[in-house]
């Protein structure tokens, strides 16, 4: 298994709409395992394939404290959402260090395929419900900061761009130092 590179906001690839999964072969199984390892290592509770530059409708989630109940959702579809809403403080592996309140339906029903292509349905609320909706947004090319005000979103974008430039500068200096 491998730790994958997680795209960071405002990378334009995060706005790519994912395509349905049709092949459940070895390549998909490896991607699922690599995404799970990446999510646990980050650490996070959910990761969409779009976040690792694989634009297919697949996401992995584990909201347990023990990190031992991995759930895989392939070609997920929300079939029902409650009218009742809740605000949940969300964060994202693609927007590290940023948390803010996002209002979403408090309960949902989702239909998806598991890692072997078997259909299942699930009703979710609380952290699991929020996580499913958050990861499904990624599959639609949407990042949670897009729910925030334009002012907050622009501040976050500026902060992320500065951090990315800093990381790139550090990598460049390390590369230069290796040459000597």
* DSSP conformation letters of 4-29: PPPP-TT-GGGGPPPBPP---SHHHH
| Residue 116 is labelled as binding a ligand | no
Q: Over the stretch 72-96, which tens digit does the pLDDT of each residue have?
A: 999 999 999 999 999 999 999 999 9
Catalytic one among 37, 83, 103, 135? Answer: 135
- Domain ranges in the chain? 12-148
Please tell me the distance from the alpha carbon of residue 163 to that of residue 55, in angstroms, as a whole number: 25
Query: In this structure, are residues 75 and 83 in contact, taking their beta carbons and an 8 Å threshold?
Result: no
Provide φ and ψ at 91, rounded to 5°: -130, 175
Q: Given a cut of 60, is residue 180 above it in pLDDT? A: no
Query: In this structure, are residues 59 and 45 in contact, taking their beta carbons and an 8 Å threshold?
Result: no
pTM attached to this predicted model: 0.92
CATH 3.30.360.10 holds for 12-148: no
| Residue 138 is labelled as binding a ligand | yes
Percent of the chain's residues with pLDDT above 70:
98
Q: Over the stretch 12-61, which tens digit does the pLDDT of each residue have?
A: 999 999 999 999 999 999 999 999 999 999 999 999 999 999 999 999 99
135 is catalytic: yes
């Amino acid at each position: 298994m491998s730790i994958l590179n997680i795209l960071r906001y405002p990378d334009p690839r995060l706005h790519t709409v994912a395509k349905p999964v049709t092949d459940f072969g070895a390549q998909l199984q490896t991607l699922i395992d690599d995404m799970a390892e990446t999510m646990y290592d980050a650490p996070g509770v959910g990761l969409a394939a779009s976040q690792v530059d694989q634009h297919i409708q697949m996401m992995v989630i584990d909201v347990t404290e023990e990190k031992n109940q991995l759930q895989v959702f392939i070609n997920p579809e929300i079939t029902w959402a409650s009218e009742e809403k809740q605000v949940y403080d969300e964060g994202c592996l693609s927007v590290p260090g940023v948390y803010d309140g996002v209002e979403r339906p408090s309960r949902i029903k989702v239909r998806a395929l598991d890692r072997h292509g078997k259909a299942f349905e699930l009703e979710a609320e609380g952290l699991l419900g929020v996580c499913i909706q958050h990861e499904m947004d990624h599959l639609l090319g949407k990042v949670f900061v897009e729910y925030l005000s334009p002012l907050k979103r622009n501040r976050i974008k500026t902060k992320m761009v500065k951090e990315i430039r800093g990381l790139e500068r550090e990598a460049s200096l390390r590369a230069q130092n290796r040459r000597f």
